[in-house]
A and B are shown apart, each in its own frame.
Chain A
Amino acid sequence: MEFTLITLLNGLSYGLLLFLLSAGLTLIFSMLGVLNFAHASFYMLGAYFAYAISIRLGFWPALLLAPLLVGLLGALVERVGLRHVRRHGQVAELLFTFGLSYVAIELVQLVWGKSALPYAIPAQLDGPLFTLYSTTFPAYRGFMMLLALLILAAAGWLLQRSRIGLLIQAALTHPQMLEALGHNVPRLFTLVFAAGCALAGLAGVVGGNAFVTEPGMAAGVGSIIFVVVVVGGLGSLKGAFIASLLIGVLQTYAVALDVSLLSGLAHWGVQLGPDVVGYSLLRLTLAQVAPVLPYLLLVLVMLLRPRGLFGVRD
């Protein structure tokens, strides 16, 4: 019971972080049709900027400033690069952001080096939030969850209740009409791209010290968020939310469980020797398989529902 609850909480907090990341990606994709391959790079930049700011000004200013900086950078990327490759089509846009992700890693290594940075959790949040049975739940994890939920609520309100949200919704389906009414649609696009990048940056600020800040961190989450977005259905925010929680919980449980098919069979009284066909497959523990579970989930979903769980457009 204790194990189940604590692992569930850990899984949910990881899932919410994934959602923070994939929400920005989904926002950009559903609005501009651009699959931002460099999204995880903006996550990484968020963490590095937060580190650089937090050693001078402290964590709380970094929480505000780093996403803003990342958002500004995103706006710059959209204005200088992405807007101009758009006329060459989707593949060109994808290639551009792919090249960007390649360059970003090299630049980060150039400025901050290849080793992990000592980007630490702020002292106020470094401690237990509550104790469940005998296991303590860290306060920082609770903070991460709260922040993700707040952002989710704010984004929902902004998109559905505010005037700018109305314009964004309209630009999704009727960009020409909006243009004719005198709204600056290209500027709206830049704004959305910047907002998506800022969300990734925010995830980096809280994810960088919860996990580790190093040049490999973009590659670490890069593929997972694509899995989230495809499994949830391209462009569906609801799908991304459910898929990220699903993957977060699934993976956290798998990592924590040290059972294999072999030990399961032994539990039922079947003893197998190393000469059985596929012994190395049977011997793998669930913890060892954990890294590939999201990808297996993706393959499964692709075979059963090629559009993803809540997909609406291709």
Chain B
Amino acid sequence: MALSSWRGKLLWPAFALLLLGAPLLFAQSAALSILSQCGCMMVLALSFNMLLGQSGMLSFGHAVYSGLAAFASAHLMNRLAGSGAAALLLVPLAGGVAGMLAGAVFGYVTTRRAGTALSMISLALVELVAAAVLMFPAWFGGESGVSTDRVLGAPFLGIDFSSQLQVYYLIAFWLFICAAAMYGLTQTPLGRIANAVRDNPQRAAFIGHDPRRVRYLMFMLSAFFAGIGGALTAINFEIVSAENLSLLRSAQILLFTFIGGIGYFFGPMIGAITGVLFSSLLSAYTRGWQLYLGLLFLLIVLFAPGGIAGACIKLFGGWRLITARAWLRLATGLLIAGAVVFLIEMLYRRAAVL
């Protein structure tokens, strides 16, 4: 997206206004909780896109960094109890540092190779960490996890983070900071070199940038933002368990990010919203929501590699060109989708009876 135009300049204030105003539109506590979850997931998806979209690294272990940071934040909050509410403002920063440390250690092994080998090694590291976490129940709380309390003590300017609305604004604040920082990073020389390494590592090496070093740097920065996302999750849910760094969670981040669209900066945010809506709203209606999510992902990989963001931009860019034939194809597609959904739902009914 060309953000240098006047429309681009208005985009960030508009985003800030949207974040500020969203609780006014959806004031119910359930909606606030979903908004908070969306915020956390957006930070995670954006940081994941630094790897996948910008640097071409398909990591299957992104939840490791956010999960370890979430554990660190939960322990930190338990230490800080009684020190005053203002301390909570800085917990995400500490989470970011923890995530970056984990990224520095694991990234050193992962980024030695590129391409498919990197994906497999990242996958093995998830399994390693997820299994190791269960071995040390004293630090990680075993199956039940570590619980914490986000109300750290005396209110700061009348805010003590006991209400979901205050937590939402904390998450929104950090989301805005992180999104702006990550967008800024795409404009820096490092961000551009990361794109070059993604597209053609040989040529990037030829002009004097060691691809491995660039990958490693991007990996650590991505882990930093993932750490902030993890800390926000810990603050939001007040509990962190081994699930936070499992392969399933990593897979979720990957699915959401790709569904949103990795070619556009705002794509992952759209994906995060879609994913959270799938898992929190659709799961109330059907047991098959994960199947639908997987099928949606497959369809996007096959037919719309730009994700939802890409499809929307294409649609708005060329909507005058939509012909009767395109409408017919759309109608056929919807009809087939409807039939598939009906079939799957019938099968789930049958499976429920059995």
- B-contacting residues of A (Cβ < 8 Å)? 29, 35, 81, 84-85, 88, 90-92, 94-96, 98-100, 102-103, 106-107, 110-111, 113, 219, 223, 226-227, 229-230, 234, 280-281, 284, 288-289, 291-292, 294-296, 298-299, 302-303, 306, 314
Residue in contact with A81 in the complex, picked from B115, B138, B302, CB distance below 8 Å:
B302
**B141 interface residue (CB < 8 Å to A):** no
Q: Across the interface, do A100 and B121 meet the contact criterion of CB distance under 8 Å?
A: no
Given the interface pairs A291-B131, A292-B131, the reply to whether A298 lies near B124 with Cβ below 8 Å is: yes
Q: Across the interface, do B117 and A280 meet the contact criterion of CB distance under 8 Å?
A: no
Q: Across the interface, do A99 and B127 meet the contact criterion of CB distance under 8 Å?
A: no
Contacts of B121 in A (CB 8 A): 230, 298, 302
Contacts of B126 in A (CB 8 A): 223
Please measure, in the bound complex, the distance between the C-alpha atom of A270 and the C-alpha atom of B248, giving whole angstroms.
42
Q: Across the interface, do A110 and B301 meet the contact criterion of CB distance under 8 Å?
A: no
Contacts of A102 in B (CB 8 A): 251, 255, 290, 293-294, 297
Given the interface pairs A88-B305, A102-B297, the reply to whether A288 lies near B119 with Cβ below 8 Å is: no
Q: Across the interface, do B298 and A292 meet the contact criterion of CB distance under 8 Å?
A: no
Contacts of B294 in A (CB 8 A): 99, 102-103, 106
Q: Across the interface, do A234 and B117 meet the contact criterion of CB distance under 8 Å?
A: yes
A-B contact pairs, 8 of them (CB 8 A): A91-B56, A95-B58, A98-B254, A102-B255, A106-B290, A223-B124, A223-B247, A296-B128
Q: Across the interface, do B116 and A292 meet the contact criterion of CB distance under 8 Å?
A: no
Please measure, in the bound complex, the distance between the C-alpha atom of A298 and the C-alpha atom of B295, giving whole angstroms.
32
Given the interface pairs A292-B127, A292-B132, A314-B117, the reply to whether A110 lies near B109 with Cβ below 8 Å is: no
Contacts of B258 in A (CB 8 A): 95
**B8 interface residue (CB < 8 Å to A):** no
- Label chain B's interface by main secondary structure: helix
**B114 interface residue (CB < 8 Å to A):** yes
Among the 9-residue stretches B85-93, B229-237, B343-351, the one with 4 or more Cβ atoms under 8 Å from chain A is B343-351
Residues of B273-302 contacting chain A, CB below 8 A: 288, 290-291, 293-295, 297-298, 301-302
Q: Across the interface, do A299 and B109 meet the contact criterion of CB distance under 8 Å?
A: yes
**B136 interface residue (CB < 8 Å to A):** yes
Minimum CB–CB distance for B54 against chain A, Å: 13
Q: Across the interface, do B351 and A113 meet the contact criterion of CB distance under 8 Å?
A: yes
Q: Across the interface, do A96 and B247 meet the contact criterion of CB distance under 8 Å?
A: no
**B190 interface residue (CB < 8 Å to A):** no
Please measure, in the bound complex, the distance between the C-alpha atom of A96 and the C-alpha atom of B258, giving whole angstroms.
11
Residues of B312-354 contacting chain A, CB below 8 A: 344, 347-348, 351, 354
Contacts of A314 in B (CB 8 A): 113-115, 117
Please measure, in the bound complex, the distance between the C-alpha atom of A107 and the C-alpha atom of B58, giving whole angstroms.
25
Given the interface pairs A107-B291, A226-B120, A292-B127, the reply to whether A90 lies near B301 with Cβ below 8 Å is: no
Contacts of B125 in A (CB 8 A): 295, 299
Give the nearest-CB partner of A219 in chain B: B247
Contacts of B301 in A (CB 8 A): 85, 92, 95-96, 99
Give the nearest-CB partner of B110 in chain A: A302
Please measure, in the bound complex, the distance between the C-alpha atom of A90 and the C-alpha atom of B305, giving whole angstroms.
13
Q: Across the interface, do A103 and B116 meet the contact criterion of CB distance under 8 Å?
A: no
**B112 interface residue (CB < 8 Å to A):** yes
Please measure, in the bound complex, the distance between the C-alpha atom of A229 and the C-alpha atom of B113, giving whole angstroms.
14
Q: Across the interface, do B128 and A302 meet the contact criterion of CB distance under 8 Å?
A: no
**B204 interface residue (CB < 8 Å to A):** no
Given the interface pairs A227-B124, A229-B120, the reply to whether A302 lies near B113 with Cβ below 8 Å is: yes
Please measure, in the bound complex, the distance between the C-alpha atom of A102 and the C-alpha atom of B124, giving whole angstroms.
18
Contacts of A84 in B (CB 8 A): 302
Please measure, in the bound complex, the distance between the C-alpha atom of A226 and the C-alpha atom of B124, giving whole angstroms.
8
Listed from nearest, the 6 A-B pairs whose CB atoms lie closest are: A295-B128, A106-B291, A103-B294, A102-B294, A226-B120, A99-B298
Contacts of A229 in B (CB 8 A): 120
**B76 interface residue (CB < 8 Å to A):** no
Please measure, in the bound complex, the distance between the C-alpha atom of A99 and the C-alpha atom of B258, giving whole angstroms.
11
Residues of B103-145 contacting chain A, CB below 8 A: 109, 112-117, 119-121, 123-128, 131-132, 135-136, 138
Please measure, in the bound complex, the distance between the C-alpha atom of A219 and the C-alpha atom of B135, giving whole angstroms.
19
Q: Across the interface, do A303 and B109 meet the contact criterion of CB distance under 8 Å?
A: yes
